[in-house]
Each structure stands twice: as structure tokens, then as C-alpha cells.
Amino acid sequence: MTETIAIGIGGMSIGLRTQSETFAEMLRERYSGFVEPAETSQYHFSIDLTGRDGLTWDDELKVRQHDGRWSIDRRDFRADWNRAKRAGRISQPATAYATDTVLRIVHTLLLSESGGFLLHAASAVKNGKAFLFSGESGAGKTTIARLAPPEVTLLTDEISYIRPTENERPEEGGYRAFGTPFAGEIAKPGENVAAPIGALYFLAQGAANRIDRLSNAEASRRLLRNILFFAEEAELVAQVVDSACRFVTHVPTFQLTFVPDPGVWELIQ
């Protein structure tokens, strides 16, 4: 019997079809809090559980498009996706790691069409606004998430989901951050909620807490270094660059230098 597990992230639902009850239960557990009714699926993938036989032995992730069809390959999985038909197929072992990767890549492709993106950043909601904390590994994303006071709602400590406000064009301002199940060191999914973005902070650890406003040019450079995007098509890359430039013109962007103490959250507003 085929079962569909619909995973809703950022207002977009992707249905994963499997004939394995065990794998279906693993998906429900892995994406707990983000599972939606199967009929809400806007896109569908059929999952064929397999070993590595027949899969590529290349560790490098490859994301390619040909005649409207996307292929996504890595050592542990192979996926094909027809964007126009909103359907695809994944061959993978029975692990959530491969599924996670496919979901992230598909969402980056969908977001690129609407002015949004996935960002290597922790994010959380305070007083009704979402705040993003970005930086390379070791910058302090997990640390800032762990220091958050109880009244703060964690959206993610690893991958932030950003979209222009619904029914509002990016150039008119207005962005929202959504919770994601993509966890980092905390190993806990974020809350499945969304909030308007109040500010983006690029993290640096130092001897004292300090906030410095960044120019749009500097903010764009830092933002582009931390956006997740795997395709190489020139048109899509240009769209992502344009989205990043628009974002920093509408969202206040700072460098947050901080010490690992809960008091840093008093500066976040």
C-alpha cells in the first residue's frame, strides 16, 4: 500500500510517497510538527528505497536541468523532478538524511522564483518579529539559539526559510521567516510558525556585546556567502543575487559582536 506523507515548510507542501510503512513512520517522526494532510501536497515525489547499487559513487552533489527536468545526484541518492508536472522520483536508502537534502534543494529552486531563499542562519521570534543570525560554521548560530530566553520561539538553529510577504512584491518590502525542521547542533526541529523579519544579524564573537549597522553593499556580500543554492543555471543564479540585493534594502542588517551570555538578547529588537 502506498502512503503519502506531506511535509509543509514555508507554506509549500511536498508529498513523499512510499510503500514502506516503516519508512513512512520514520518520516512522520523526523518531520513531526511539519506533517500536513496528504491532500494538501502541491508537489509529489515517489520514493524508491534502495541500497547504493545503481546510484552514483561521486561524493559531489550535482544539480542539473535539462528540458525542464531537474536531476539531483549524490553518493547516497538520485532524484529526478519535473517542475512543470510538480512530480518527481527519489531513489535512496531508508534514511532521512537523503530526504532532507532533496527537500532543501527543491525548496531553494522554488524560492528562487519568488524572491526568497534558504539562509545558513539561526532564526527566532521575539515580540512578534523574527530575527536572523547568520554566519559561517563556528560564528555562534547555535550559541545564540541556546542563549535565547524562554519567551523566544526558535525557528531553526541551522537553516532559515525566507520569503517575501504573501501578496506583496519584494521591491515593496516585507519578508517573513518560517520555522524549519532542518536542525543543526541542537538536533531539534524549529517551531512551525512564521513572523515578519525585524532584522538580520551577522555574528562575530568578541569581548563585549556590540551592534554595528552594515552598508547595503557589505550586507549583500555577506548574505550571498550564506545563501544556500545548488544550481548553476545563470538565470537562476542571477535571480538569487537580485533577491539578496532587494532583501538588504528592506531589512535592517547589522554585525552583532557578542559574548556567550544571555544578556546579548537584550540588544535584539
For 207, residues 6+ apart whose C-beta sits below 8 A from its C-beta are: 259
Is the CA virtual torsion 202, 208, 213, 218 positive or negative?
A: negative
Is residue 75 over pLDDT 80? yes
Q: If pLDDT is split at 50, 70 and 90, which confidence band does 213 have? A: very high
pTM: predicted TM-score of the whole model, two decimal places: 0.92
**Cell numbers placing 192:** 512551525
Which residues are CB-neighbours of 216 under 8 A, at least 6 positions away? Answer: 245, 248, 249, 253
- CATH code: domain 117-267 is 3.40.50
pLDDT of residue 3 exceeding 90: yes
The ranges assigned to domains in the chain are: 3-112, 117-267
Residue range 165-199, pLDDT digits in tens: 865 554 445 899 999 999 888 878 999 999 999 99
Hey, which residues does 237 pair with through a beta bridge?
none
